[in-house]
Amino acid sequence: MTHPTNPSEPADDGTLWQEAHAIEMWKYFGSVGAADKNTMVTVETLLLGFSSTAMGYLFTKVLCLRPFFITAPYQGIGLAFLGLVISCVATYVALLYGRYSNWNWANADAIARQRQHLLKWKKLLPENAELPDGAVSDRRASRLCVIANGLGRPCLPSNN
């Protein structure tokens, strides 16, 4: 049996958390997962706004639509490259934050799974979530989910 670093804390004997600790940990992981998702949406919105601004400039200053003519080809190439970079960054950010969010929600689900013998915990699991009428759940992971899991895997900062 290991001895706690703080004498007022009980030793970790490998048993399940006490109910109060489990609830706090479930709330923590759920809130961090939601915060990651919200951050992803905010960053993606900013990137989309920047990309829309670049496209607006392209259509008003670089292209002439009647007749179709490119008035500033070098600016057009630069804006196309900028759009490509923004798209790559947006994809990376969405996958990275998606993975972090999924990881935190998976931790919250694991806590609920350990206590699923209690009805109140069982209702918190995603497989017990009520779907809208007529909706069908597909439990297979998409390719994007697999890529996101690879990008967001935990790592040691000293090794990067």
Instruction: Note the pLDDT tens digit of each residue in 134-158.
Output: 555 566 667 777 777 676 665 555 5
Report the Cα–Cα distance between both ends of the chain, in Å, rounded.
35
Statement: the pTM of the whole predicted model exceeds 0.85? no
Reported as a pLDDT band with limits 50, 70 and 90, residue 129 is low
Reported as a pLDDT band with limits 50, 70 and 90, residue 121 is confident
- Are 63 and 70 in contact, with CB atoms under 8 Å apart? yes
Reported as a pLDDT band with limits 50, 70 and 90, residue 1 is very low
Identify the pLDDT of residue 32: 92
Tokens describing residue 95: 């996958």
Note the pLDDT tens digit of each residue in 74-112.
Answer: 988 998 899 899 989 998 998 888 888 888 988 888 888
Note the pLDDT tens digit of each residue in 22-55.
Answer: 889 989 999 999 999 899 999 999 999 999 898 8
Cα–Cα distances in angstroms (integers) from residue 2 to residues 9, 15, 16, 17, 108, in the given order? 12, 13, 16, 16, 26
> Does the structure show a pLDDT above 60 at 64?
yes
Long-range residue pairs from 143-148, CB within 8 A, at least 24 positions apart, any chain: 144/95, 144/98, 145/98, 145/102, 147/95, 148/94, 148/95, 148/96, 148/98, 148/99, 148/102
Phi, psi of 14 (to 5 degrees): 85, 5
Tokens describing residue 14: 């490998």
Give the Cα separation of 86 and 90 in Å (integer). Answer: 6
Identify the pLDDT of residue 101: 87
Phi and psi based region of residue 118 (left: phi greater than 0; alpha: psi -120 to 50; beta: remaining) = beta
> Does the structure show a pLDDT above 70 at 160?
no
